[in-house]
Chain A
Amino acid sequence: MIAETLYTGFGAWNPVIWLVAFVVALLLAWAIQRLGEPDIPGDGESGKSYISGNDEPSPEDGHIGGSNLYWGFTEAMKGYYARVIPLHTGCLTDYVLWFLGTFALLFIFIGVI
């Protein structure tokens, strides 16, 4: 088991021990789940979603799409995104300019400093 230990120079990481601990945790979680109620009692009405009295939307409408997630993150970072996204113009000549600019900077950095 020790043979699987990865030494990083500062610590160690043994995936096999981690996996054993993970499986034990899964078994515990499964055992706890087994202690719960097997199903929702009644005629199934109590299992339906309550959306402030509104009808449940269709499956297509009810799924939260990719754009809806992390709205808060992009909103908080909008100052950054407002500058970085426009740089990705999709225009080949812009890409060439970026290449030339980067080469110039690299040359100054490598050749002069």
Chain B
Amino acid sequence: MMDFIIANAPALLIALPMLGAFALPLVGRLGDSARTGWVLGVGLITFVIAALLAWTVLSGGPVLYTFGAASPADALPADSGGIPIRIVFTVDAMSAFMAVFASFVGFITCLYSVASERRSSGKDGYYALMLLLLVGILGMVCTGDLFNFFVFLEINSLAGAALVAYRIDKGVSVEAGLKYGFLSTLAGLMVLYAIALLYGQYDSLNMAVIASRMSYTMLDKVALALFVAGLALKAGAVPLHFWTPDAYSMAPGAVTAFLVVASQAGLYGLFRILFSVYGLTLSYVTVGWAVIILGVLSMFVGVTMAIPQKDVKRLMAYHAVSQSGYMLLGVGVGLVVLGDAAAMDAFGRTAMEGGIFHIVNHAMYKGLLFLTAGAIFLQTGTRNLNKMGGLGHSMKWTMLFFIIGALAIAGIPPFNGFASKLMIYESVFAFSPVIAVIAMVVSILTLASFVKVFHAIFMGPEQPRHADAGEVPKPMLAAMAVLALLTILMGVFPEQIVTTVIAPAADALIDQSAYVATVFGGI
């Protein structure tokens, strides 16, 4: 049984949450307890499968899974002319890393939703969309086929837009969902057009095949610009970030925490296209600088726009934009020096590791912060910082979790945000001291912003208008506690995380030939 699960883990990773989603209307008829057990069971088993897959990849190298083939590793049948004609999942360390933490956050947000959505109607649809969002994310990070990537990107976008608009909230959330859905579709169409340009030239949709034939023609450059613009929009990078405060602020707290991971899947797609599909054929210095500029703009505009916000979730959404900038910066620096082995060894690899490490750290502490914001909204009914205060008296655990998340996002030791930011600061400083200083200033402004939020929400005397506010139910506290614990542990033991997971993920991106060989080695 275990051998079967391990051998078919890439397929099960998608099939299980998809089955879980489509069966929910039936399971929901059995009652709340059955629905809750089903969702949490599916979420937990999906995470376990992702962890097993990651263990397989980290111990034995990339996993190739061909759908419909007699043997999953047989991507190139003898009569195929050397082209993988079936849909292929190519799971390397980067994919496995993304799959593990995405499925983990998916499980945690479902656990949180058990309590936060308990008074709401339409729970079958809500959880079905959460599981479909998970399917979209996992498919995006595992697939080795470009059209398949587009399909999962669309599943990700549609499920996300529906979740943003799921609670009526005076119609405003519907508007936010419409914006998210429209822009995500626009980004998806640009990605589809880019895929068509590559398919027209290289007669294949398989990423490894295209990578092996890439000649970087003018059409490839057009396709690359479309990919970068489309996926940067999905990731919420400045100046394509406008949808993030609208969508993140109107979605329920658990959904927002999961949407952060959905955006990071867009970031993954961008990195996969740049490194694994184009690789050394592109003008990596030019494109790398484009990524760095997007990163620096995201960092600075995100944090400065956060400071004057009065809506706690809009403020956090701008911080999410700002933190994405660190990831773009770290990986962008690695891309600039991709062809320079000495510079890559000196600082490029560390910058990439810092950027990738920041992805998972951000998912943990930003997820935690959005969950605390959801808890505060549940108890006070407002997101307006001017109408809060004194909640530290009645919501002590939420306050503690908020402090942990806030210190982590500001890069204060010993929390996880500090470890990844330190790697980014030091490596980027070797590349460009000015950019490193900007990154540090952004961290200081982030801390300043969260001091304001902390003071406005939790400090001061108890407010009579929030006299009824108490601590949130235990499932919500448990979800926040798990993320808080990981935020601490990943900060106290950063080297273990970097050595075990992050460094192999960075190497998987850097080594394009290994990615190509994963598919062509299956002959």
Contact = CB atoms under 8 A, between A and B. Distances in A.
Interface of A: 3-11, 13, 15-16, 18-19, 22, 59-60, 62-67, 69-70, 73-74, 77, 80-81, 84-85, 88, 90, 92, 94-96, 98-99, 101-103, 106-107, 109-111, 113
B225 A107 contact: yes
Given A63-B460, A92-B182, A96-B183, A74 B350 contact: no
A22 B463 CA distance: 34
B495 A62 contact: no
B119 interface: no
B179 interface: yes
Contacts of B493: 4, 15
Chain A at the B interface: SS class:
helix
B304 interface: yes
A106 B290 contact: yes
B240 A98 contact: yes
B385 A8 contact: no
B510 to A, nearest CB: 15
Contacts, number: 168
B455 A60 contact: no
A6 B498 contact: yes
Given A9-B426, A92-B182, 11 more contacts: A4-B496, A8-B354, A9-B427, A15-B419, A63-B460, A85-B305, A96-B183, A103-B229, A106-B225, A109-B225, A111-B221
22 contacts: A3-B496, A4-B493, A4-B494, A6-B419, A6-B423, A8-B423, A9-B427, A19-B414, A22-B414, A64-B456, A65-B456, A73-B307, A74-B307, A81-B308, A84-B305, A85-B308, A92-B179, A92-B183, A96-B186, A103-B225, A109-B225, A111-B225
Contacts of B218: 111
Contacts of B346: 9
B463 A60 contact: yes
A102 B240 contact: yes
A77 B307 CA distance: 11
Given A66-B385, A85-B308, A107 B494 contact: no
A70 B389 contact: no
Contacts of A77: 304
Interface of B: 178-179, 182-183, 186-187, 190, 218, 221-222, 224-226, 228-229, 232-233, 239-240, 242-243, 245-246, 283, 286-287, 290, 301, 304-305, 307-308, 310, 346-347, 349-350, 354, 385-390, 413-414, 418-419, 422-423, 426-427, 429-430, 448, 451-453, 455-456, 459-465, 491-496, 498
A69 B315 CA distance: 14
A92 B242 CA distance: 9
Given A66-B310, A99-B186, A110-B286, A9 B350 contact: yes
A103 B426 CA distance: 31
A1 B494 CA distance: 12
A59 B460 contact: yes
A4 B283 CA distance: 38
Contacts of A9: 346-347, 349-350, 426-427, 430
Contacts of A103: 190, 225-226, 229
Most chain A beta-carbon neighbours within 10 Å: one of B233, B301, B414: B414
B390 A63 contact: yes
A108 B496 CA distance: 42
A99 B233 contact: yes
A104 to B, nearest CB: 9
Nearest to A15: B414
B182 A84 contact: no
Most chain B beta-carbon neighbours within 10 Å: one of A10, A11, A94, A107: A10
Given A11-B426, A18-B414, A5 B495 contact: yes
Nearest to A10: B426
A95 B243 contact: yes
A10 B425 CA distance: 10
Contacts of B246: 90
B386 A66 contact: yes
Contacts of B290: 106, 109-110
A6 B347 contact: no
Nearest to B495: A6
Contacts of B465: 60
A107 B242 CA distance: 21
Nearest to A17: B414
A102 B239 contact: yes
